[in-house]
Structure 1
Amino acid sequence: MSDPTHDQAAWRTFRRFWASTAASNLADGMLLSATPLVALTLTRDPLAITTVTAMQYLPWLLFSVPLGTLADRVDRMVLLRIASTTRALGVGLLALALATGHVHILMLYALSFLFGLAETLYDTTSSALVPTLVEDHQLERANGRLYATQTVANSFAGPPLGGGLFALAVAAPFALGSAGYAVAALLLTVLPLTHSKRTPGKAPTTFVKDLKAGVRGFTGSPLLISLCVLFGIGNLASSAAYGLVALTVVERLDASPATFGLVLAGGAVGAFLGGTYGDRIGRLTRPGTTLLWTTVVSGLVTAAIGLADHLIVLSALMAVDGFVVLTQSVIGVSLRARLIPDHMLGRVTAVFRTLSTGASALGAVLGGLLARALGLFWPFIIVGAVVVALGPILFRWLSNDRIEATLSTQQTTEEKV
């Protein structure tokens, strides 16, 4: 039985962290639209421009697991402060370079890599921190609020603000973004340090041993692997399909590029609602059932997007998909947190996310190849059908009985320890 006073205190602490995350995500959103615009002022070579994005994702593939291991060895709040401060200084440096006209494409590559490295550290650490800030029964609610905030800031408010400021002054979105990261860092300083819970009496281990233990912690959990497969297939399908939505708007629906924002807004609205109410939706059914129906609905909607013949229909379908995907994320991420012991949350989560992020990169390439070979709408049909077909198969691996049995066994083990 929960203690109301303790619950309120935990939620107050979480709200401060939530405010810091909101400031950080707003800065992320502004840079999401402004950084490609800077690249366009330096070069029109498509490969050079896409390399900027690649440099931001490269740290996830190279350093996610080591940084996740670090999050289990060093106080997580300290790491978040370092990541936020690094981003504030790096973005501020870019704003200064733009204001003085001393920007080179190589500098943009280096700073993009730095932003990506700090983001990898921040995201890996923050996902491991949330379960230590709130009570177990508050986990879905907390994750839902964070996902909703991330969606609004990254997809709704940030990109239009960044683009508008860029039109006024090239350095403006980066100056404001630097201020946003600085505010996030300041808000983190008022939060108490949060040490991960280590097993009492256990001898200190080396970094390499901890890293290997994190990999074993992932590979030794069939349920975690199954959940990773679910997330990985979802990311692959989303990347394969959503990477072609802009072309769908402009070429197949013969609309202006400006209307692409309307379509994205539809997806953002659905994602916001899913993040806000996903925990309540999840309580109506058991976790495995929620993961099943959200997977099947997402696959059906993805296929329908390929057949949409009007912008409003396309935007509505994006909203539905955003809702079910965020609902699934709230339930899935909360389940993942319960499956991993606190002292291993950082490194095991990092292994998990490295694999799912790699699936996103593969999906983007797959979508382009399918569109080139078969036509623009076929990638939506194919990946949607694959997701629907795999739903029942995944449900066998992520059945309610398996989830409950694994959680029960883990709880018993932790109580003995």
Structure 2
Amino acid sequence: MTTAESVGILRVPAWRGGFGRLWAAAVVSKFGDSLRTAAMPLLAVSLTRDPLLIAAVTACGFLPWLLFGLLGGAVADRVDQRRAMWAVDLVRGALMAAFAVAVALGHASIALLIVLAFALTTLQTLFDNAATSLLPSLVPAEALASANARLMTGQQVAGGFLAAPLVPALLLAGAAVPYAADAATYVLAALLVASLRVAAPERAARAAGSTLRVEIAEGLRFLWRDRAQRGLCVATTLTNVGVGALIATLVLHVTGWLGAGEGGYAAAITAYGAGSVLGGLLARRIAERTGRIRAVFVAGAVQAGALAVMGSVRELWVTTVALALFGLMGMVWNVNQATLMQERAPEGMLGRISAAFRTLAIGGAPLGALLGGAVAAAWGANTPALLAAGLFTVAVASLARQIN
């Protein structure tokens, strides 16, 4: 059953009717994930100084999307998404609990970190696609933009402002504590999702001879044939290359090129998080005035400008303002892209379309990280921001055809 409330001419999702529990599950889970992702690099560095091995842990956070992302979307369209989500979270909770025990007993290793990162992201390919497909059954179509904005904003607050500052205190209590806390959040999220009262989706009988491969191909074909979503996918992939380059070298940009030290880096990250939260609050209203595609176009254009300024002006305050604006418009992009996909996908195909989009788009991030490192080494720590600005400009230019 879907519910929404009217606010003027806008529609926002009601917290009752299941959305509130889904929101709480997403925020709790993001909180735990952020504890883990903040603590794990410190653990990796304590286990080895080999840059390749440390990088392998990060790489395994992307690789399963390239290997299994399409499969996860096809499975999400076949099963009861609610059950898939809570089952996946219980498995992830068990994995994290076992890892916390290994850390507490001194049995952690780089190999174990790599295996854990790969396993968690493999499970995430099913969970994320199922979650994308489940949301439209909890809120009406006219409230999807508000629902996506509230979900993403809540996750940003939980991950960026609540979890990260707690990690040093948790590590003082024991190296295993952040991972044990992450395990507990998975279990709590699973209970919240399991409590949702959502009828199992009614799906038409699959055609004789239909296989997962055939169904994956259907999702890819729909994404390619839908002009708006194809354009957004191409643009998002390009921007993710830029984001990967920026993230991989941001610490060098702030501490090296700007000479701002760790305090400056913390200020830059905080500014980005604050901008993202504000963007979540404004994303729906911007789209109401401009339309979804145009909102994404404007967001990308502003982000390109912010990156160009950031890579050209050697002042910390300029970088923090640019990152705040970059985060704000990034949330506007993400909310409206996700909402457009949910609005345009045919019934029973959202998981596959979401998987196709994510798999292609996420593939840009590791490529961008490699490019960012290469250009920073060759031409200076500010050049990845300029590279990202160029990629965003190309992405925005490709979107211009969608709004003309």
Q: TM-score range by the shorter chain?
A: over 0.9
CA contact (8 A) 2:66 2:363 kept: yes
1:127 corresponds to 2:132: yes
2:347 is aligned, of 336, 342, 348, to 342
Partner of 1:115: 120
Q: Residue by residue, what CA displacement relative to the aligned partner does 1:381-400 show, whole Å, maximum 9, x if unpaired?
A: 2331342354244221x227
Partner of 2:403: 399
Partner of 1:22: 27
For the structure 1 residues 38 and 220, does the alpha-carbon distance in structure 2 shift closer, same or farther, using more than 3 Å as the test? same
CA contact (8 A) 2:153 2:277 kept: yes
Query: Structure 1 stretch 47-56 or stretch 67-76: which is displaced more?
Result: 47-56
1:309 is paired with a residue whose SS is coil
CA contact (8 A) 1:30 1:160 kept: no
Normalised by the length of structure 2, the TM-score is 0.92
Partner of 2:9: none
1:93 corresponds to 2:98: yes
Give the Å deviation of 1:224.
1.7
Give the Å deviation of 1:31.
0.7
1:244 is paired with a residue whose SS is helix
1:294 corresponds to 2:303: no
1:221 corresponds to 2:226: yes
For the structure 1 residues 290 and 91, does the alpha-carbon distance in structure 2 shift closer, same or farther, using more than 3 Å as the test? same
Query: How far apart, in 2, do the equivalents of 1:236 and 1:115 lie?
Result: 23
Give the Å deviation of 1:8.
6.9
For the structure 1 residues 328 and 218, does the alpha-carbon distance in structure 2 shift closer, same or farther, using more than 3 Å as the test? same
Query: Structure 1 stretch 266-275 or stretch 162-171: which is displaced more?
Result: 162-171
2:184 is aligned, of 150, 175, 179, to 179
CA contact (8 A) 1:274 1:325 kept: yes
1:265 is aligned, of 263, 270, 277, to 270
Query: How far apart, in 2, do the equivalents of 1:133 and 1:38 lie?
Result: 39
CA contact (8 A) 1:241 1:302 kept: no
The alignment-based identity, stated in percent, is: 32
Query: How far apart, in 2, do the equivalents of 1:311 and 1:168 lie?
Result: 34
Q: Residue by residue, what CA displacement relative to the aligned partner does 1:67-97 show, whole Å, maximum 9, x if unpaired?
A: 1100000000011011211111111111111
Query: How far apart, in 2, do the equivalents of 1:73 and 1:300 lie?
Result: 43
Q: Residue by residue, what CA displacement relative to the aligned partner does 1:94-141 show, whole Å, maximum 9, x if unpaired?
A: 111111112222222211211112222221211121122110010000
Superposed structure 1 runs of 4+ greater than 4 Å apart: 2-11, 201-204
2:18 is aligned, of 8, 13, 21, to 13
Structure that is richer in helix per residue = 1
Give the Å deviation of 1:327.
0.7
Give the root-mean-square deviation of aligned CA atoms.
2.1
Partner of 1:212: 217
1:330 corresponds to 2:330: no
Q: Which runs of 5+ in 2 are unaligned?
A: 7-11
Give the Å deviation of 1:354.
0.4
Q: Which amino acid aligns with 2:384?
A: P
For the structure 1 residues 392 and 114, does the alpha-carbon distance in structure 2 shift closer, same or farther, using more than 3 Å as the test? closer
Query: How far apart, in 1, do the equivalents of 2:195 and 2:103 lie?
Result: 32
Query: How far apart, in 2, do the equivalents of 1:20 and 1:393 lie?
Result: 36
For the structure 1 residues 130 and 326, does the alpha-carbon distance in structure 2 shift closer, same or farther, using more than 3 Å as the test? same
1:306 is paired with a residue whose SS is helix
For the structure 1 residues 290 and 167, does the alpha-carbon distance in structure 2 shift closer, same or farther, using more than 3 Å as the test? same
For the structure 1 residues 374 and 5, does the alpha-carbon distance in structure 2 shift closer, same or farther, using more than 3 Å as the test? closer
Query: How far apart, in 2, do the equivalents of 1:323 and 1:234 lie?
Result: 15
Aligned length: 397
1:252 corresponds to 2:257: yes
Give the Å deviation of 1:41.
1.9
Partner of 1:239: 244
Query: How far apart, in 2, do the equivalents of 1:338 and 1:182 lie?
Result: 31
CA contact (8 A) 2:4 2:143 kept: no
Q: Which amino acid aligns with 2:220?
A: V
CA contact (8 A) 1:14 1:133 kept: yes
Normalised by the length of structure 1, the TM-score is 0.90
Q: Which amino acid aligns with 2:110?
A: I
Q: Residue by residue, what CA displacement relative to the aligned partner does 1:180-215 show, whole Å, maximum 9, x if unpaired?
A: 11110111111024534534x664643332222222
